[in-house]
Structure 1
Amino acid sequence: MSEKRIVCRQCGAQNRIPIEKPLANAKCGRCHAPLQDSAQQPQKITLRCGKCHTKNRLPVDKIAGGAKCGRCSAPIRHTDLFHGRPVLVTGANFEQTVHRSPLPVLLYAWAPWCSVCGGTGPMVDQLAMETKGKVRIGKINIDANQALADKFHILSVPAFLIFDAGQLKAHLPGAVPKHELLLKLAPHTYGDPS
């Protein structure tokens, strides 16, 4: 007998429903709420609150209306999370863009004189497109932001820094391949937004 698994939107319990049973009459085995097929369920994304760093699971279609944290009711900033381009990070916007980011941040440190950065820059742009809505990708020019380079001990470029919940989680010096960056980001991402 084949069956499909449906997660209850009310309590989160997994329910096994036989394929031949009409889904219109199916109810959750735990809370008895009506079940909906995953194709009908709204797409969700997990965003951190910039104030208290609580993870909030929000429907994507409701974010534009003004998302708020479930714990502290602070507004969750969602601008530039879904456009698929790296954010330019400076000393002026570092606190808001990195420390208070609703998503984990991969910060790419580069310099205009670096010949290797010319090859890794396009890879970072491509990574921003592939991870939009899951990871915020930022670029920081260390020549223009020497204080931040000193603070995070960036001694050579290119370099990659991974931040989550406002904390530095990893410092990866050198031209790191894309697949290795994705592996390093995996523990900090919140999975598929569906």
Structure 2
Amino acid sequence: MSEPVHIVCSQCRGVNRVPGTRLSEGPKCGRCHAPLFTGHPIALTGADFDLHATRNDIPLLVDFWAPWCGPCRMMAPAFEQAAKILEPQVRLAKVNTEEEQALAARFGIVSIPTLILFHQGREIGRQPGAMGTHDIVRWVRAQSQGL
């Protein structure tokens, strides 16, 4: 990927243009100088969801979860590990459905955890149920082939 890529900063919400060949070199935000990738999922709210879903040129994998959900808590370390493997080719994020009920309703979340993969604002894959790290990575790579 040699074309410039737009990446939204999780700290200040600035949209950064990064040469595709430099994504794996630890790029920093031009506005706040925070690392654009940390190897950890970011928390999204209704206020910043659309910005991340539509302005990132890389796919966005969102884990819709709730703190009271046993399978969600069980999958959390696997999702965290998947972020270390998939970044910077994919941005990983979490949406707490208890705090963001409008987002959960908007995407028709009926069971948690549910993973949804977005690319340029469009849903390109959905997977309900808890998964292990390798299953998450394999599923994302299969869904995002050819992007």
The question of a shared fold, defined as TM-score above 0.5 by the shorter chain, is answered with yes
Structure 1 residue identity aligned to 2:56: S
2:87 is aligned with 1:132:
yes
CA distance in 2, matches of 1:165, 1:189: 15
* Match 1:188 to one of 139, 144, 147: 144
CA distance in 2, matches of 1:80, 1:146: 29
Correspondence for 1:91: 46
For the pair shown, the structure with the greater C-alpha radius of gyration is 1
Correspondence for 1:59: 21
* Match 1:146 to one of 101, 105, 110: 101
Contact 1:106/1:160 (<8 A) preserved:
yes
C-alpha spacing 1:189/1:131, structure 2 compared with 1 (3 Å): farther
2:127 is aligned with 1:172:
yes
Correspondence for 1:23: none
Q: Which one has more relative contact order, counting CA pairs under 8 Å at least 6 apart?
A: 2
* Match 2:55 to one of 100, 103, 109: 100
2:78 is aligned with 1:123:
yes
Q: Deviations over 1:39-81 (max 9, x none)?
A: xxxx96873578xxxxx853316x6596xxxxxxxxxxx9654
Contact 1:82/1:133 (<8 A) preserved:
yes
Contact 1:142/1:148 (<8 A) preserved:
yes
Contact 2:64/2:97 (<8 A) preserved:
yes
Partner of 2:112: helix, strand, or coil? coil
| Structure 1 alignment gaps of length 5 or more | 1-42, 51-55, 67-77
Q: Deviations over 1:97-116 (max 9, x none)?
A: 22222310110011011011
CA distance in 2, matches of 1:82, 1:175: 24
Give identity over the alignment, percent. 30
* Match 2:115 to one of 137, 153, 160: 160
Contact 1:158/1:174 (<8 A) preserved:
yes
The structural deviation recorded for 1:152 is 0.6
Count of paired positions: 133
Q: Give TM-score, length-normalised by structure 2.
A: 0.75
CA distance in 1, matches of 2:3, 2:145: 11
| Structure 2 alignment gaps of length 5 or more | 9-17
Which has the larger share of helix?
Answer: 2
Kindly report the root-mean-square deviation, in angstroms, between the aligned alpha carbons of the 2 structures: 3.1
